[in-house]
Chains A and B, each alone.
Chain A
Amino acid sequence: MTPAAAPADAVPVLTRPRRTVVLPALVFAALALVPAGAFALSAGYLLDLFTRVMIFAIAALSVDLLIGYAALVTFGQAAFVGIGAYAVGILASHGLTDVVVALPVALLASGLFALVTGFVCLRTKGVYFIMITLAFGQMAFFTASSLAPYGGDDGLTVQERNTVLGLPLFEQPLVFYYVVLVALLVVYLLFRALVASRFGRVLRGAKDNALRMTTLGFQVYRFQLAAYVIAGMAGGLAGFLLANATEFVSPAYMSWQRSGELIIMVLLGGLGTLHGAIVGAAAFLLLEEWLSALTEHWKMIFGPLLVLVVVFVRGGLIGIGAALARAAGRRGPRG
Chain B
Amino acid sequence: MVRARRGSAVLFTCRELLAPTVRRDGQVCDPPRNRLSPRGGGRDATIAAVPMSTTLLVVQVLNGLQLGVLLFLIAAGLTLVFGVMDFINLAHGVQYMLGAYLAVAFYGLTGSFLLALVLALAAALLFGLLLEAAVFRHLYGRDHLDHVIATFGIILFLNSAVKYVWGAAPLSLPVPEALTGSIVLAPGILYPVWRLVIIGSGLAVALLLYVLVSWTRIGMLVRAGATNAEMVSALGVDIRRLFTLVFGFGAMLAGFAGIMIAPILSVEPGMGDTILILAFVVIVIGGIGSIRGAFVAALLIGLVDTLGRSFAVDLLRLVMSSSTARTVGPALASMLIYLLMAVVLYVRPTGLFPAKGR
Contacts and interface: CB of A to CB of B under 8 A. Distances in A.
Q: Do A and B bind each other?
A: yes
A303 B155 contact: yes
A305 interface: yes
Contact of A120 (B138, B149, B342): B342
A237 interface: no
Contact of A306 (B156, B277, B339): B156
B211 interface: no
Contact of A310 (B139, B157, B281, B342): B139
Contacts of B26: 255, 257
Interface in B47-63: none
Contacts of B331: 142-143, 145-146
Contacts of A300: 156-157, 160-161, 164
A123 interface: yes
Interface string A123-135: 1111110111011
A138 interface: yes
B339 A139 contact: yes
A127 B342 CA distance: 13
Interface in A97-149: 120, 123-128, 130-132, 134-136, 138-139, 141-143, 145-146, 148
Contacts of A123: 345-346, 349
B341 A131 contact: yes
Contact of B154 (A132, A307, A309): A307
Interface stretch (A37-45, A170-178, A219-227, A260-268): A260-268
Contacts of A131: 280-281, 284, 341, 345
B230 interface: no
A148 B330 CA distance: 11
Given A127-B284, A145-B331, A299-B160, A307 B88 contact: no
A142 B327 contact: no
Given A131-B345, A145-B334, A260 B148 contact: yes
A303 B145 contact: no
Contacts of B334: 142, 145-146
A271 interface: yes
Contacts of A268: 149
A33 interface: no
Contact of A146 (B82, B139, B327): B327
A67 interface: yes
Interface string B1-40: 0000000000000000000000001110010000000000
Contacts of B280: 131, 134
Interface string B150-167: 101111111111011000
B103 interface: no
A38 to B, nearest CB: 29
A132 B159 contact: no
B341 A135 contact: yes
Interface in B164-204: 164
A138 B330 CA distance: 14
Contact of A263 (B25, B148, B341): B148
B149 A264 contact: yes
A62 B141 CA distance: 27
A132 B157 contact: no
A25 B284 CA distance: 43
Interface string B259-285: 000000000000001000100110010
A257 B26 CA distance: 10
A120 B157 contact: no
A28 interface: no
A309 B154 CA distance: 12
Nearest to A144: B331
A311 interface: yes
Given A120-B342, A252-B25, A260-B148, A146 B328 contact: yes
A92 B63 CA distance: 43
A218 interface: no
Interface in B300-332: 327-328, 330-331
A255 to B, nearest CB: 7
Contact of B277 (A142, A146, A256): A256
B328 to A, nearest CB: 7
A310 to B, nearest CB: 4
Contact of B144 (A127, A139, A260, A311): A127
A255 B27 contact: yes
B205 to A, nearest CB: 24
A271 B149 CA distance: 12
A304 interface: yes
Contact of B342 (A126, A130, A135, A306): A135
B341 A303 contact: no
B146 interface: yes
Nearest to A126: B144
Interface string A67-109: 1000001000000000000000000000000000000000000
Interface in A255-314: 255-257, 260, 263-264, 267-268, 271, 297-300, 302-307, 309-311
B271 to A, nearest CB: 14
Given A135-B341, A303-B157, A128 B350 contact: yes
B231 interface: no
A134 B279 CA distance: 13
Given A135-B341, A299-B156, 17 more contacts: A124-B349, A128-B345, A131-B280, A134-B280, A142-B331, A146-B334, A263-B148, A263-B149, A267-B145, A267-B149, A297-B160, A299-B159, A303-B155, A303-B158, A306-B150, A306-B152, A310-B153
18 contacts: A123-B349, A127-B144, A127-B284, A146-B327, A146-B328, A146-B334, A255-B26, A263-B148, A267-B146, A297-B164, A299-B159, A300-B161, A300-B164, A302-B157, A303-B156, A309-B149, A310-B149, A311-B150
